[in-house]
């Protein structure tokens, strides 16, 4: 039997559909994702913490959930909103339905609404606060409307590792030791670093420089993660102290933190970049990659003047900065996800560039 559920936007607009996943109610940031596949990786990506993600592809749930494709141990996404939900998956790897998996991790689900209209609204008016009600809720108290509530700003603190962890390569393959600062890292980033011969020591977002240097790393990696990069001044300060001392590679939130540590600024995009089909141009080679993206913030190109930072990559859809490097320090950042999961693998070569910096060689990207 279908249970009705309501979505209330910050401007008072309401959408009514049906419930799947967890029956709870939440205040979330409403965003959309244009990927056609990969919903398991999307709901398990810590960068979606406290967000309600509208999937523009209409049919979701048809291949269920498997044991291999999670990007974190405990998903922290708030909700998934889809046009048609399939609760009878067919896939040889399937171990549970999407709804059962979402209920296990307290992820709300809403289906049966016009997601095309909802996506157009987000594109026109921007990402906004939204309140998804508990199953069957009809009369919502006025103080629960999204315009009366504030979103949390401690997402990185909640998803970062609580203790230092080690991830080793296959025996005989280790070439480098990387300290990865965890702001909400995806498993496939660690797997990618391991595949390139990097043993990874994962440390919390607020680790001090003495702890980092005690590991005598060959390089520093700054992970992806949720929220506004200015909400983690501890990480920005750490990175500032590491300038010029080690090769540094930042992805997504890590890219933004790297820019802030050199004195540049970031700003919030109207509706962000989320999907697996964003064309990005390498300004050095002219190469264009199709990239996987998930972020709300971007680096302000005008603010990079006098910081030593240089733009290296550009988004061809809106001309926003997608890559930076420092003119003298061995530091660079990429706004998108070269490790994919989900998405294209055009940009995996950027890990090779990091390897080149750690080996003391020239940029081989």
Please tell me the chain's helix, strand, coil percentages from 3-state DSSP, rounded to the nearest 5.
Answer: 25, 35, 45
Planar angle of CA 267, 230, 344, nearest 5 degrees? 65
CB hemisphere CA count around 316 (13 angstroms): 13
CATH number at residue 306: 3.40.50.880
Q: CA–CA separation, 221 vs 223, rounded Å?
A: 6
Q: CA–CA separation, 354 vs 365, rounded Å?
A: 9
Do 188 and 93 sit in the same domain of this protein? Answer: no
For the chain, what is the mean pLDDT? Answer: 95
Residue 309's DSSP bridge partners are 326
Do 127 and 168 sit in the same domain of this protein? Answer: no
Query: What percent of the chain has a predicted confidence (pLDDT) above 70?
Result: 98
Do 234 and 282 sit in the same domain of this protein? Answer: yes
Q: CA–CA separation, 40 vs 37, rounded Å?
A: 9
Domain enclosing residue 125, as ranges: 4-150
pLDDT at 179 over 80: yes
Q: What is the mean pLDDT of residues 198-219?
A: 98
The alpha carbons of the chain give a radius of gyration, in whole angstroms, of 20
Query: Quick check: is 363 in a domain?
Result: no
**Tokens in use for 140?**
């919502």
Q: Domains in the chain: how many in total?
A: 2
What pLDDT sits at residue 136?
58
Task: List the catalytic residues.
Answer: 252, 337, 339
What pLDDT sits at residue 137?
59
Q: CA–CA separation, 278 vs 276, rounded Å?
A: 6
Q: What is the mean pLDDT of residues 234-253?
A: 98
What pLDDT sits at residue 362?
39
Per-residue model confidence as pLDDT tens digits over 23-69: 989 999 999 999 999 999 999 999 999 999 999 999 999 999 999 99
- Phi, psi of 267, deg, nearest 5: -145, 160
Do 324 and 200 sit in the same domain of this protein? Answer: yes
Do 85 and 177 sit in the same domain of this protein? Answer: no
Q: What is the mean pLDDT of residues 244-255?
A: 98
CATH number at residue 130: 3.50.30.20
Task: Note the residue count of the chain.
Answer: 365
Domain termination site, one of 125, 150, 175:
150
């Amino acid at each position: 039997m279908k249970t009705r559920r309501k979505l209330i936007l910050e401007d008072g607009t309401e959408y009514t559909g049906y419930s799947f996943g967890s029956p709870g109610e939440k205040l979330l940031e409403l965003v959309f994702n244009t990927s056609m596949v990969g919903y398991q990786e999307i709901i398990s990506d810590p960068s979606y913490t406290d967000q309600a993600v509208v999937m523009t592809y209409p049919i979701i749930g048809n291949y269920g959930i498997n044991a291999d494709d999670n990007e974190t141990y405990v998903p922290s996404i708030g909700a998934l909103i889809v046009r048609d939900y399939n609760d009878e998956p067919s896939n040889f790897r399937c171990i549970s339905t999407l709804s059962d998996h979402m209920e296990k991790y307290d992820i709300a689900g809403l289906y049966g609404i016009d997601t095309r209209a909802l996506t157009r609204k987000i594109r026109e008016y921007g990402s906004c606060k939204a309140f998804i009600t508990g199953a069957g809720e009809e009369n919502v108290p006025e103080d629960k409307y999204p315009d009366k509530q504030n979103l949390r700003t401690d997402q990185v603190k909640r998803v970062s590792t609580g203790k230092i962890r080690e991830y080793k390569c296959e025996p005989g393959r280790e070439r480098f030791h990387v300290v990865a600062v965890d702001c909400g890292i995806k498993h496939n980033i660690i797997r990618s670093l391991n595949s390139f011969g990097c043993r990874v020591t994962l440390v919390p977002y607020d680790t001090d420089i003495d702890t980092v240097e005690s590991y005598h790393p060959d390089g520093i990696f700054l992970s992806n993660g949720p929220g506004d990069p200015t909400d983690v001044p501890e990480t920005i300060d750490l990175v500032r102290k590491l300038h010029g001392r080690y090769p540094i590679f930042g992805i997504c939130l890590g890219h933004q933190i790297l820019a802030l540590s050199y004195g540049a600024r970031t700003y919030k995009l109207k509706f962000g970049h989320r999907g697996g089909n964003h064309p990005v141009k390498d300004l050095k080679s002219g190469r264009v990659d199709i990239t996987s993206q998930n972020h709300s913030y971007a680096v302000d190109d005008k603010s990079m003047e006098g910081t030593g930072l240089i733009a290296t990559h550009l988004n061809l859809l809106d001309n926003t900065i997608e890559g930076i490097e420092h003119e003298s320090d061995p530091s660079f950042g990429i706004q998108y996800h070269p490790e994919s999961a989900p998405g294209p693998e055009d940009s995996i070569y950027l890990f090779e560039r990091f390897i080149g910096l750690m080996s003391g060689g020239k940029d081989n990207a």
